[in-house]
Amino acid sequence: MASTRFGHLLLALAVLLASACSTDASFGEDLWVADNYVFCNEFDEPERQCMLVSHSEFDLYRHIEGDIEGFTYEEGTAYHLRVERTNASSSDAEPTYRLLEIVSAEEE
């Protein structure tokens, strides 16, 4: 009986570790979006503009590639969003974001 419990414990631990190590994990998080676009500084598209985002209200902002699914950005408005972030399956790809909720929107 003890060996069966130990076996179940090992199986549960293996499943937990496998899910934690997944490279295609999704989870919710807060995201702050600045009120203006910036140039992405892409070599092949030098005039392309990107949104500036931060994972904390008072942290540094960085530009993100692509859009936030379900979110329509209006320049001149700063946003606090709740998003679902999905990590890319390859290490050099950017994560993707899907809007869950607009927590606040403030015209600057």
Q: What pLDDT is recorded for position 15?
A: 42
pLDDT tens-digit profile of 3-52? 555 444 444 444 444 444 444 456 789 999 999 999 887 666 778 889 99
- First-to-final CA distance of the chain: 65
Task: Give the tens place of pLDDT for each residue, 71-93.
Answer: 999 999 999 999 999 887 777 67
- The contacts of residue 73 (CB under 8 Å, 6+ apart) are 33, 51, 67, 79
Return d(Cα 53, Cα 66) in angstroms, integer: 12
- Determine the pLDDT at residue 25: 57
